[in-house]
Structure 1
């Protein structure tokens, strides 16, 4: 059964060594780039008023666009992104320092990207994409963009600087792609429902402030690695004896606190070691089985660190997309189109499931995310074409 893409009204919101082997290398594993610089607080503003973002289609295709760097795949101007892409994540906004909270975003230098747009051309392309019903978001973080909001001052600077970028380009929202050491849990912070760690609490507060500032239709997405989400089924934070990696499951309190505001969660099902599923078996990336097991955890819920009194509740299917590399060059864990199709058939319809049997079927699961649009173009648009074929675009 194939799932047609048709417009849909917005859904109801409804010990250490072992762990070190699980954590992947992050989104940006090929051609690391230097962080952007310049004044992100300038407000030149697109004309589009806030709160008018397009609704997502029933099944959406999400992709990251290398906007501040080339990364070996070549620079793709925003205006040349095909219409199949429903959500375009501009990669990346990065901080002036790890703890400053001061986020900067500038277009790729011409010396690195000879075909880069001018600022005005880029703003015009944002408006053109929005007029075509697409969402254009600022993605913060990536492999190099470590963000630790340790203080109230850093939290407030984060809000101020991110607002400046959103206003400058007239963007639809924000994507949080914190990797590496951005998020970790302090000793004694053991309940995801009531976090105490400053970097966690301040991030939650900052995102709620931005959501409140821009309104209900402000898009908020997240792209954590499996280490920060599904690994939480086994390990959460440093553990009672302090023997675990404190980053284990560290995204869970952020996702949980913002679940009513969250547009999409697209966990990176790549650059990952084996992760235990709800069947208490380890699953390995690059297969349909891995995507089925990891997604089932999000849509079924799971006890955190095995504690049945602390269950991470399931997300709405419309909030969940599967994150994959666009090609073998884009990241470890590339999944062939046939295996992607198997995963979608199983999760949407309960058909063709393999060793892992999910706890339901979810025809309204939102879709797919990829790193990246640039790498997909480099590989002849295989990822995009498979998505369009499956959903009948």
Structure 2
């Protein structure tokens, strides 16, 4: 979300579309003679055998996945920190490509295979995570180019233990992997009346995990979380997890029991908190600053908005803690007492008012238990001071799922079941259930009201069907929302975030008609573009916009069109 006058952020267009046109080939079974054909695979010899663009790479001693060194590569605004190695291979052979990565967005792939070049990627990760895919060489292929890279102007990434397992091409010699150990620390992170969310520790050398319910495999994933749906209410289920790689599948983990919540009576799906938020709701961000949009008081906000997110709370000098200071001078003399009274009046009309944490320039960091406790305590203090109904998480500089989960659960324990908890991740933060934002949302699914993903300022992105879609279209909204709907969030916890006008964001504006079409496509199966979901989700929560101020500057055209449409959804 923008505090300053709207300006384009980094727009990931054609280049990103190419980078995200991934081929997720299945991991092949390694034979007894397979070796790792990568030289200096663990960077124990520095960058020997590797070439990194723009001098972006260096060998570091921490963090490392194994051994004493790893690669650190730092992208810039003009360079994606691409590091390459030419790897000798045999023709007409199948190879498994893998690497352990950490930090910023990380990509892994090969070119020059003579058949289909492949790649895979992951959003930013606070812990080591394995990427894996496979490729087959052509009849005359004797070498391929292995590469890793990050993304422009994003955080540095780390890579270690990179492997191209398969027949010896003449430069390898490291043995093929062994069957991984069983996962440890399997735990239930949350339940609804129809689903259970699980977490477990990563297993060294694992490339994937299988989830078992009462002895039957029900899901597979490359991450260390999973949400299993289709469960009966108020019922106990036993879950176990196994780890897999090219060598085979591990024994099953110890079993944990998850008991689903009682049925909600069919009123609103398997969502979590939010008290009496309407089944279909419109969220709008209210600007506590003047950036050229219409300056408003809370009382000026259109009645079409069901949730008003006050932007923004700011970080303090205490790690994790936040505060809120009304910009009385910038808002024409708006006093704190008037602000509080306006909040109470909106609540009397059935609206919810939450305080939003972060924004484009937000620097709130929750990376340990102490900062998590400080966050929960400070937000609860703001709720008591101003009368806020809850909190919105709009952190655009990374999120640690473990400690943000801890912070939100602590806040929930203080505030009770009426807590309204919303999130506004950037588009790329919700591309994979393994990303910090998505993982956090799944971790707190039982207390989560809605995730309003910002479908703008992002460029092209992958949809749930694996195809790349350009922002600013009905397909972009529907195919990307589908990722969350298929990835474990309840329909009542999914909202479409869009700019209220062309001034509200650097790119990605769509007309209210397109928003309405996307809502109809997802809930009714009508109004779709080229992407048509296999099912519909009538319980979809609704839509969000940045901001009520930009909406007002355009005569409330957005809320007057989208609001009634949301409220009339099935």
What is the TM-score with the length of structure 2 in the denominator?
0.51
The two structures, once aligned, show a CA RMSD in angstroms of: 2.1
Structure 2 residue matching 1:251: 3-state secondary structure: helix
The equivalent of 1:46 in structure 2 is none
Higher RCO structure, 1 or 2 (CA under 8 Å, sep 6+): 1
For the 8 Å contact 1:272–1:285, the answer to whether it is kept is yes
For the 8 Å contact 1:22–1:274, the answer to whether it is kept is no
**Aligned equivalents of 1:358 and 1:147: distance in 2?**
37
Structure with more helix by fraction = 1
For the 8 Å contact 2:281–2:566, the answer to whether it is kept is no
**Aligned equivalents of 2:567 and 2:448: distance in 1?**
27
The equivalent of 2:457 in structure 1 is 271
Mapping of 1:233-248 within 5 angstroms? none
Please identify, of 171-180 and 356-365, the stretch whose mean Cα deviation from structure 2 is larger. Answer: 356-365
**Aligned equivalents of 2:276 and 2:412: distance in 1?**
16
For the 8 Å contact 1:291–1:343, the answer to whether it is kept is yes
For the 8 Å contact 1:54–1:130, the answer to whether it is kept is no
In structure 1, the gaps of 5 or more residues are 1-14, 24-51, 184-198, 237-248, 302-312
In structure 2, the gaps of 5 or more residues are 1-18, 20-74, 81-148, 155-272
CA shift, 1:121, in A, is 0.8
**Aligned equivalents of 2:409 and 2:307: distance in 1?**
21
Structure 2 residue matching 1:266: 3-state secondary structure: strand
The equivalent of 1:339 in structure 2 is 514
Structure 1 residue matching 2:454: 3-state secondary structure: coil
CA shift, 1:76, in A, is 0.5
The equivalent of 1:296 in structure 2 is 482
Structure with more strand by fraction = 2
The equivalent of 1:222 in structure 2 is 423
The equivalent of 1:102 in structure 2 is 321
CA shift, 1:392, in A, is 6.4
Given candidates 547, 559, 569, the residue that maps to 1:372 is 547
**Aligned equivalents of 1:20 and 1:375: distance in 2?**
31
The equivalent of 1:131 in structure 2 is 348
Given candidates 9, 16, 20, the residue that maps to 2:151 is 20
Structure showing greater Rg: 2
The equivalent of 2:439 in structure 1 is 253
**Aligned equivalents of 1:22 and 1:380: distance in 2?**
36
CA-to-aligned-CA distance 1:346-384 (integer Å, 9 cap, x gap): 111111322112131112211110010001001111110
The equivalent of 2:388 in structure 1 is 171
Q: 2:539 matched to 1:321? A: no
CA shift, 1:223, in A, is 0.5
| Paired residues, number | 304
What is the TM-score with the length of structure 1 in the denominator?
0.73
Change over 3 Å in CA distance of 1:388–1:223 after alignment to 2? closer
Structure 2 residue matching 1:289: 3-state secondary structure: helix
Structure 1 residue matching 2:392: 3-state secondary structure: strand
CA-to-aligned-CA distance 1:189-210 (integer Å, 9 cap, x gap): xxxxxxxxxx432211110000
Given candidates 373, 378, 386, the residue that maps to 1:161 is 378
Structure 2 residue matching 1:20: 3-state secondary structure: coil
